[in-house]
Structure 1
Amino acid sequence: MLTSRSLFSGILSLNWVLFLWETFLDWRQYCVHRDTEKRPAAVQEIITEEAFAKARAYKLDKHRFGFFTGIFGQLQTTVVLLYGVLPLLWEFSSRYPLPTVAFFMSSILLDTIVGLPFQLYDTFVIEQLHGFNKQTLGFYFTDQIKKLGLTFVLGSPVLLGVEWIVDNGGPYFFVYVWIFLSIVIFLLLTIYPEFIAPLFDKYIPLPEGALKTDIEKLAASLHYPLTKLYVVHGSKRSAHSNAYMYGFWKNKRIVLYDTLLSGEELEKVVKECGVDEEECKKILAEDRGMTSDEVVAVLGHELGHWKFGHTMMNLIIVELNLLFQLAVFAYFYKWDLLYTAFGFKDQPTIVGLILVFQYVMALYNQVISTVMNILTRKLEFQADDFAVELGFGKQLISALTKLGKDNLSLPIDDWLYSMCNHSHPPIPERSATIQKAMKELKKE
């Protein structure tokens, strides 16, 4: 007969098994990076010996810190569960008029406070040591306060909405919660780039020039409904690079991080962002960024995702997965044994969501994450093929190589770790596949 004690022990044991599995994968990857002291012959074309040494040093530091934080986090979770911290927190929150909001806010605050020393070390020691961090302490804490404020302002009404639907929606409440959350996700995808992201970074229209002309020409040739083209001043925060597209229907936008740019294009952007002359010279002196042709090649890849409907495909998968998880929650959320196993005397909705989504479905979440990584990797190859067909194969390989160098990506991986964790194929694998596609295209 299943008891509350045996259920708790089973869930906690599963939690530890999954942690040990992830640690095992991390250890395999660490061993590959630790033991490969010299640049392998297979990656000599995409990384220099000096860049390889820098990337390896960065990865080893991240690995060691990751092991420490991972073990600490797992022990913290175990202590929280064994000593009934969540029931105590709920009992404290129940004293207030909106206990769900109080529980949500207090748990977020506690996690933030506990995690703050680790985040500070990661940002101001490891990232700083390897040349990525550009933030000051003041900038960092201002950022954190903004994030907490937005989390409370946006998260609280959503939680209250979910709670009301669960309490009043009848036997098919999970369908109504799914519709409600889908609307929320759609609204956030719409308003985040326009109103939320600019609270953290400065966005400006891409200045007139050859790059803008080439991007608009490419978008027009593919009938991509590009309405706005932005650059985000991300170099004030980090030297890591990024680019993305967003928008629905006939209202598409492209955003480039200034860390992707170089030369004249970068100079225009940093000056328009109000960077002083001295800082501007420092930014331009850094050996980072891509040529305009390489940036266009990267966007050719991204446009491949749009052309093949990858974004919509992923959105549908996310929606179906959300519906399934909510159906599982509907099955378990009134199970008395689940709550008593974790020390709760009543059955608050927010606690049920945590117990079901985080613990009951832990194994499912691990499996579906790996499956999604495998699928996403296939889509990345398909988008690469599209860029090759546009004539950007050579430039895309060069762009990927520079991205790897600028982000200190180490182009060697343990195959099992990569399969379970990497949503994008490793650069050597992508480069080889692109070269093969270019050769096949020439034969046709």
Structure 2
Amino acid sequence: MILIIGILVFGYLASSLLSGLNLAHLKTSIKRSLPLEVSDLFDQQKVAQIADYTAAKTKLGYWSEFLTTAVVVILFTTGIVPGIALWADGLRIAPLLQGLAVIFILLLIGYLAGIPAALYSDFKLEKKYGFSTITPRTWLGDQAKSLLVSGILMSLLFSGFYLFINWLGTWWWLAAWGLVMAFSFLMIFLSPVVLMPLFNKFMPLEDEELKNKILEMAQRADFPLAGVFQMDASKRSTHDNAFFTGMGKTRRIVFYDTMVKNYSHQELLSVMGHEIGHWKMKHIFKMIAAMSLLSGVLLFAASRILAHPWIYNAIGLGELFGRIGFNGPLIGVALYVVAILFEPLNLIISPLMNWQSRRYEYQSDAYSLKLNPSAGDMKGALIKLSQKNLSNLFPHPLYVVFHYSHPPLLARLKAIDDQVRRNV
């Protein structure tokens, strides 16, 4: 029990320390004379607004993480977790359903703990800075659909894990690993045509001139594009973004409608070139391969941890484990606990994964410059994204290591200039 609580508290303190360093670094940086590359692009009022927005999000993050951590600590220290498991064990239903009942309840409690922060973020903080456009009706609909979809997907994965544990004994992790990999590829294929349309409308790009330019670029890059779409993101937020999604026949480029309205054709083409670069250099599949390898290692470790009674004794379920073994409600509890035990691994894994992701972003920027030699278009798009989204211009280097999957704006602009000089 002490180990579980210690891991939770350590994770919260480490996260809070990094966030505090990041905020302090930003405040110190804007008090100095702004470097020319910043003052030429952002006026003092915009920089101050960025600092205020970053501070507000950081403070909300403190309270949100504190609340969710406190709830989990309470679940373990007050006997609620073993109480839920014993209640489920008394139900006259199949052991698989007992396990599902346990994991559903524990995850639902965690979801409810995050509701206050989500409400404050969407209806107070984001509205204050002109971002949130969501209505209570849309928000409630999103929550209901998210719960339903998450519940279905989680039930399928848990059922697979449960059956493998009962059929394969200590080798269950290997089959579970295969299931996770298959599930990942299936989600990539289905998300653009099944899951994402549940929340947003995706329409073919309305600007025919822009669409033709994009299709010409895709043909020039030998990029098999299933479609170019714009998403009604303005229904919820004024934030700007674009992304590449899908696989095979569902492969597509998606622009937020807010972006289509506010960016020039050449800027959007530079963004498109960047997304094509990710595909050409197989970045997505490389990241999936890395995550698959990691999931295999974690599942193997989980299979060894969950085979020992100490974990059940630690949370007050030793007697139940002695009676039913690793079965029924204990599988639900065990998978929940092991997820907590593995949480600190993010401190080891995230720097490596983020480093690789930032490296891929630089590579995709360089590829886009081959399709669109004008660095001004790409830089213009990145600057607009940063200005519009109030992105932190001066993140702490350590915070970047642990949290940034994309390079900070100034580093990215410098890399583009360096690439242009190399291309000359």
Q: Which residue of 1 aligns with 2:34?
A: 40
1:294 aligns with 2:276: no
1:244 aligns with 2:225: no
**SS where residue 394 of structure 2 aligns?**
coil
Paired residue type of 2:274: H
Match of 2:393 among 411, 415, 426: 411
Could you tell me the TM-score, scaled by structure 1's length? 0.88
Write the deviation string for residues 129-149 of structure 1: whole angstroms up to 9, x where unpaired.
111111111111111011111
Match of 1:341 among 309, 314, 328: 314
- Within 5 Å, give how 1:27-426 maps onto structure 2: 27-38=20-31, 40-41=34-35, 42-96=37-91, 97=93, 98-249=97-248, 252-262=251-261, 289-344=262-317, 345-346=320-321, 347=326, 348-359=330-341, 361-390=342-371, 391-426=373-408
**SS where residue 226 of structure 2 aligns?**
strand
Paired residue type of 1:420: F
Paired residue type of 2:34: P
Write the deviation string for residues 413-444 of structure 1: whole angstroms up to 9, x where unpaired.
111111111111100000011011112212xx
Paired residue type of 1:415: P
Matched residues in 2 for 1:11 and 1:99: separation?
23
Write the deviation string for residues 21-51 of structure 1: whole angstroms up to 9, x where unpaired.
2211111011123334457224223322222
**SS where residue 169 of structure 1 aligns?**
helix
Change (3 A) 1:171 1:78: closer
Matched residues in 2 for 1:249 and 1:69: separation?
39
Paired residue type of 2:288: L
Asked if 1 retains the 8 angstrom alpha-carbon contact of 2:244 and 2:254, the reply is yes
Q: Which residue of 2 aligns with 1:284?
A: none
Asked if 1 retains the 8 angstrom alpha-carbon contact of 2:165 and 2:172, the reply is yes
Match of 1:433 among 389, 397, 415: 415
Write the deviation string for residues 318-350 of structure 1: whole angstroms up to 9, x where unpaired.
111111111111111111001111222324222
Matched residues in 2 for 1:294 and 1:381: separation?
17
1:351: Cα distance to partner?
A: 2.0
1:392: Cα distance to partner?
A: 4.1
Write the deviation string for residues 227-269 of structure 1: whole angstroms up to 9, x where unpaired.
211111110111112211123346521111112112xxxxxxx
Between 41-50 and 315-324, the greater mean CA deviation after superposition: 41-50
Asked if 2 retains the 8 angstrom alpha-carbon contact of 1:225 and 1:251, the reply is no
Write the deviation string for residues 75-112 of structure 1: whole angstroms up to 9, x where unpaired.
22222222232212222333442112212322233223
Matched residues in 2 for 1:327 and 1:165: separation?
13
Asked if 1 retains the 8 angstrom alpha-carbon contact of 2:277 and 2:367, the reply is yes
Paired residue type of 2:314: A
Matched residues in 1 for 2:244 and 2:64: separation?
33
Paired residue type of 1:27: G
1:208: Cα distance to partner?
A: 4.6
Matched residues in 2 for 1:58 and 1:219: separation?
37
1:14: Cα distance to partner?
A: 3.2
Paired residue type of 2:99: T
Asked if 2 retains the 8 angstrom alpha-carbon contact of 1:46 and 1:428, the reply is no
**SS where residue 335 of structure 1 aligns?**
coil
Matched residues in 2 for 1:184 and 1:335: separation?
28
Paired residue type of 1:111: G
Could you tell me the TM-score, scaled by structure 2's length? 0.92
**Which structure carries more relative contact order (alpha carbon 8 Å, separation 6+)?**
2
Q: Which residue of 2 aligns with 1:276?
A: none
Matched residues in 2 for 1:25 and 1:208: separation?
43
Asked if 1 retains the 8 angstrom alpha-carbon contact of 2:188 and 2:247, the reply is no
**SS where residue 255 of structure 1 aligns?**
strand
Between 194-203 and 164-173, the greater mean CA deviation after superposition: 164-173
Paired residue type of 1:238: S
Change (3 A) 1:362 1:109: closer
Asked if 2 retains the 8 angstrom alpha-carbon contact of 1:325 and 1:357, the reply is no
1:12: Cα distance to partner?
A: 2.4
In the alignment of these two chains, the number of paired residues is 408
Matched residues in 1 for 2:103 and 2:337: separation?
14
Matched residues in 1 for 2:412 and 2:308: separation?
48
Which sections of structure 2, spanning at least 5 residues, go unmatched? none
Matched residues in 2 for 1:437 and 1:158: separation?
44
% same residue: 26
Paired residue type of 1:405: Q
Between 124-133 and 167-176, the greater mean CA deviation after superposition: 167-176
1:13: Cα distance to partner?
A: 2.0
**SS where residue 226 of structure 1 aligns?**
coil
